Amino acid sequence: MREEQMQEAPVKVLLVGVDIGEEADFEYSMEELASLAEAAEKEVVGQIVQRLDHVNKALYIGTGKVDDVRRLAEERGAQEVVFDNSLTPSQVRNLGKELELTVIDRTNLILDIFAIRAQTREAKLQVETARLQYMLPRLVGMYDALSRQGGASGSMSNKGTGEKKLELDRRKIEHRITELKKELEDVSRTRDVQRRKRQQSRTPQVALVGYTNAGKSTILNRMVEQFGELPEKTVMEKDMLFATLETSVRSIDTGHNKPFFLTDTVGFIHKLPHGLVKAFRSTLEEVKYADLLVQVVDFSDENYRQQMQVTADTLKELGAGDIPQIVVYNKADKCGMEPLPQKRQEHWYLAAGQNTGIRELAEAIEQQVYADNVDCTFLIPYSAGNVASYLMEEAQVFSTEYREDGILIHADCHRQDMERYKTYMTQ
Ligand SMILES: Nc1nc2c(ncn2[C@@H]2O[C@H](COP(=O)(O)OP(=O)(O)O)[C@@H](O)[C@H]2O)c(=O)[nH]1
Ligand SMILES: [Mg+2]
């Protein structure tokens, strides 16, 4: 409590949105903007929306509306104005001048949240890269505007100074981005090595994906507590947008000798800045290498269908659109659905928050990722020691028995391995 009191008061913000009839659910987008502002530790003191056919090129909103925004901001003591869409560099500049307040857009807000949440070195590097990359084109825009101003006034010396300063800033930023990319490459090399180790172990990899706040981390945690190799290794779960940015991988085994790796990663959101997706590529790549995706949906959210569409689009962008999926309709408790869990077609309705349906989901995952496996018994002669050690390493071995005529191995192995070592099979 005391710690909280010592913190600075949150920045007061006013939200502004323009509805040009392009979005299926404009109101929802504004609600989400408010949650994003909260997650960025700001206090929302008001909201203004405008219905327009086209956004205003210079000011984004209509000229008259700028006065409304100024008046309301003053009345409510807002220090910043947050716009629901990406603003052009000149719109930010013009609005800042007109309103005499800090003007930011949705992308800024998401970048701020990521900066606050980044814990690991990798996440910090990724966020800084995304922020600088976001700034770079805006800097060039400013540079263009200044050159135009210089040209109009005819003052060549002014133009020269402005150009030089901006060119210098641009180079500095580009240089820093290059440095960051190198550092990130080092970090992602470590990640590659770890991933390759997991791939070599042939243990299937399963990734939790979906909209932010759907319950991915809750599912991972409940599974880790019940079936994890290290049950204490849980991750942060919280009612907040982007509570988890880091990728965590945990080993899960329900006791059927069909272990799998379960990965939790950053969630998706409507209008997730492209630069962030790019900067977080190495983290998100974990998704691309998964054998199975578990798409977690907040079934209690009235916009869950739109959220599923955003998830599908983002997965496609990551090159993970074709990986098989199990869909989990989570938070079904909030919809009064009974009994839980329920399976319809191949998909699950459950309530991870109430620890309901976790075992069923884990078993469904097992079944799917081990679908190509067969239960076999081999008798491997001692002269074929390499085959025995291969099977010990690659198959899920239930039992071994050293007999006079060889090693009897009862295992769950891949169909291909069964074909290959058919001659040694006893049944
Ligand atoms: N009512 C309800 N709440 C849930 C359920 N699963 C998760 N939650 C809550 O939803 C919030 C977001 O969960 P989290 O796992 O952090 O979501 P993530 O962003 O997808 O990782 C947390 O406050 C959870 O306690 C559920 O089945 N029912
Ligand atoms: Mg999470």
Nearest alpha carbon, ligand 1 atom 8: 353
- Given a cut of 80, is residue 137 above it in pLDDT? no
Q: Is 213 annotated as belonging to a binding site?
A: yes
**What's the total number of domains in the chain?**
4
Q: Which atom of ligand 1 is nearest to the CA of 264?
A: 21
3, part of any domain: no
The number of the ligand nearest the C-alpha atom of 216 reads 1
The answer to whether residues 100 and 145 belong to one domain is no
CATH number at residue 387: 3.30.70
- Given a cut of 50, is residue 153 above it in pLDDT? no
138's CB contacts (< 8 A; 6+ apart) are: 89, 92
What pLDDT does 351 receive?
Answer: 98
**330 C-beta closer than 6 A to ligand 1:** yes
The answer to whether residues 49 and 169 belong to one domain is no
CATH number at residue 218: 3.40.50.300
**238 C-beta closer than 6 A to ligand 1:** yes
- Given a cut of 80, is residue 338 above it in pLDDT? yes
What pLDDT does 159 receive?
Answer: 56
What pLDDT does 154 receive?
Answer: 44
**pLDDT tens digit sequence for 90-117:** 898 899 889 999 999 998 898 888 888 8
**267 C-beta closer than 6 A to ligand 1:** yes
Most confident of 138-152, 349-363, 365-379, 385-399: 349-363
The answer to whether residues 191 and 261 belong to one domain is no
The answer to whether residues 325 and 304 belong to one domain is yes
274, part of any domain: yes
414, part of any domain: yes
Q: Round to whole Å and give the CA distance between 171 and 82.
A: 29
Of 64-73, 104-113, 187-196, 251-260, the poorest mean pLDDT is in 187-196
Nearest alpha carbon, ligand 1 atom 23: 239
Most confident of 65-74, 278-287, 310-319: 65-74
**207 C-beta closer than 6 A to ligand 1:** no
Mutual angle of helices 89-99 and 121-153, in 10-degree steps: 80
1, part of any domain: no
CATH number at residue 71: 3.40.50.11060
The answer to whether residues 212 and 320 belong to one domain is yes
The answer to whether residues 210 and 358 belong to one domain is yes
| Cα→Cα distances 372→120, 360, 421, Å | 37, 20, 16
Top-confidence residue, 356 or 86 = 356
Q: Which of 237, 269, 342 to mutate to test the pocket of ligand 1 (most atoms within 8 A of CB)?
A: 237
The answer to whether residues 240 and 92 belong to one domain is no
Segments forming the whole domain that contains residue 321: 203-369
Mean pLDDT for 32-43 is 92
Chain centroid to Cα 374, Å, comes to 35
Nearest alpha carbon, ligand 1 atom 6: 353
| Dist. CA 33 → ligand 1 center (Å) | 19
**334 C-beta closer than 6 A to ligand 1:** yes
| Dist. CA 22 → ligand 2 center (Å) | 30
**pLDDT tens digit sequence for 159-217:** 567 777 788 888 999 999 999 999 999 888 888 888 888 877 778 999 999 999 999 99
What pLDDT does 266 receive?
Answer: 85
Q: Please answer whether residues 109 and 82 qualify as being in contact, where contact means their C-beta atoms are separated by less than 8 angstroms.
A: yes
Mean pLDDT for 246-254 is 91
336, part of any domain: yes
Domain end call among 115, 132, 153:
115
342, part of any domain: yes
The answer to whether residues 360 and 259 belong to one domain is yes
Mean pLDDT for 223-245 is 87
The strand ranges marked E within 155-299 are: 205-210, 248-252, 260-264, 292-298
Q: Which amino acid is at 15?
A: L
351, part of any domain: yes
Confidence of residue 1 (pLDDT cuts 50, 70, 90): very low
Domain end call among 195, 218, 247:
195
**297 C-beta closer than 6 A to ligand 1:** no
Average pLDDT, the chain: 88
Q: Which atom of ligand 1 is nearest to the CA of 296?
A: 20
What pLDDT does 160 receive?
Answer: 67
Helix (H/G/I), strand (E/B), else coil: 60: strand
The number of the ligand nearest the C-alpha atom of 222 reads 1
Q: Is 155 annotated as belonging to a binding site?
A: no
In degrees and rounded to multiples of 5, residue 95 shows phi and psi of -65, -40
- Given a cut of 60, is residue 380 above it in pLDDT? yes
Mean pLDDT for 346-354 is 95
Domain end call among 144, 162, 195:
195
Q: Round to whole Å and give the CA distance between 74 and 76.
A: 6
| Dist. CA 307 → ligand 2 center (Å) | 15
- Given a cut of 70, is residue 3 above it in pLDDT? no
**353 C-beta closer than 6 A to ligand 1:** yes
Q: Is 330 annotated as belonging to a binding site?
A: yes
Query: What share of the chain has pLDDT > 70, as a percent?
Result: 93
The answer to whether residues 60 and 104 belong to one domain is yes
Cis peptide before 341, with omega less than 30 degrees from 0? yes
The answer to whether residues 297 and 268 belong to one domain is yes
**91 C-beta closer than 6 A to ligand 1:** no
The number of the ligand nearest the C-alpha atom of 266 reads 2
What pLDDT does 272 receive?
Answer: 78
Nearest alpha carbon, ligand 1 atom 14: 215
What pLDDT does 334 receive?
Answer: 97
Q: Round to whole Å and give the CA distance between 34 and 170.
A: 33
Of 57-71, 135-149, 269-283, 368-382, the poorest mean pLDDT is in 135-149
5, part of any domain: no
The answer to whether residues 218 and 185 belong to one domain is no
The answer to whether residues 226 and 286 belong to one domain is yes
